């Protein structure tokens, strides 16, 4: 099996440095060890994914707009896709092996970890931050909800894992920009000045 590229790259360090300092209301951090796997299927292929998940002790696929679990998380992202988010490397590797492309006719898994960056937004300030960066209709309101959204001009996945905790999954190449937007959105209105590029 090919070892995943665990990047703590220059981009990660710059993104981390661009984040706002933690406050009593909000802490924003970058998940270093969270794996992101896309579970995809054609019509009729959901059963193969559910079998692979059950073999590894995971719950069935979530319904639209829902997220199940707590590391690992399973998030519905479309009629033919679910994301598996987890820091449990062995579990993720097992699911990837069970759903290696070509093993099942109608289903497969793709490890997107090297291409994704996950921010952990924690604290009561999440309620103030999200409406400044995401359309209000795209904000998951309750724990156990999540879906795709536009984070300013960046495609993202938002997962409300607790009332005051949201995971933000974006393409790693946009990590610095997302961190800058978060920092900018937390500035007082009279000091915002120009927006980040």
Query: Is 193 within a domain?
Result: no
Residue 178's domain comprises 10-186
Query: Is 4 within a domain?
Result: no
Residue with tokens 């959105």: 185
User: Could you tell me the pTM of the whole model?
Assistant: 0.87
Query: Is 129 within a domain?
Result: yes
Task: Determine the Cα angle at 173 with ends 131 and 122, to 5°.
Answer: 40
Query: Is 19 within a domain?
Result: yes
Looking at residue 9, its pLDDT comes to 61
Looking at residue 196, its pLDDT comes to 52
Determine if the peptide bond prior to 72 is cis (ω within 30°).
Answer: yes
Q: Cα(37)–Cα(73) distance, rounded to whole angstroms?
A: 11
Inter-CA distances, 52 with 22, 39, 49, 151, Å: 39, 10, 5, 32
CATH code of the domain containing 30: 3.30.1360.120
Query: Is 195 within a domain?
Result: no
What is the H or E stretch that residue 35 is in? strand 35-41
Query: Is 26 within a domain?
Result: yes
Looking at residue 152, its pLDDT comes to 82
Query: Is 194 within a domain?
Result: no
Total count of domains within the chain? 1
Q: Which residues contact 37 (CB under 8 A, 6 or more apart)?
A: 83, 84, 85, 86, 92, 95, 96, 109, 110, 111, 112, 113
Query: Is 155 within a domain?
Result: yes
Per-residue pLDDT of the chain (197 residues; tens, 9 = 90+): 334 444 456 667 888 888 888 889 999 999 888 999 999 999 999 999 999 999 999 999 999 999 999 999 999 999 999 999 999 999 999 999 999 999 999 999 999 999 999 999 999 999 999 999 999 899 999 999 998 999 888 899 999 999 999 999 999 999 999 999 999 998 876 655 555 54
Looking at residue 5, its pLDDT comes to 43
Phi-psi region of 35 (alpha: psi -120 to 50; beta: other; left: phi over 0): beta
């Amino acid at each position: 099996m090919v070892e995943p590229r665990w990047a703590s790259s220059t981009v990660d360090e710059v993104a981390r440095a661009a984040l706002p300092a933690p406050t009593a209301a909000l802490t924003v951090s970058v998940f270093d060890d969270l794996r992101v796997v896309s579970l995809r299927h054609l019509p009729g292929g959901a059963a193969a994914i559910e079998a692979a998940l059950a073999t590894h002790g995971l719950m069935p696929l979530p319904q639209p707009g829902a997220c199940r679990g707590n590391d690992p998380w399973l998030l519905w992202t479309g009629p033919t896709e679910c994301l598996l988010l987890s820091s449990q490397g062995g579990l993720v590797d097992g699911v990837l092996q069970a759903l290696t492309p070509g093993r099942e006719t109608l289903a497969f898994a793709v490890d997107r970890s090297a291409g994704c960056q996950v921010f952990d937004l924690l604290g009561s300030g999440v309620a103030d931050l999200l409406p400044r960066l995401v359309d209000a209709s795209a904000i998951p309101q309750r724990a156990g909800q999540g879906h795709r959204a536009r984070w300013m001009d960046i495609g993202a996945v938002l997962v409300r894992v607790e009332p005051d905790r949201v995971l933000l999954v974006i393409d790693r190449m946009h990590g610095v920009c997302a961190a800058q937007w978060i920092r900018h959105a937390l500035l007082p209105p009279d000091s915002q000045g120009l927006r980040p590029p």
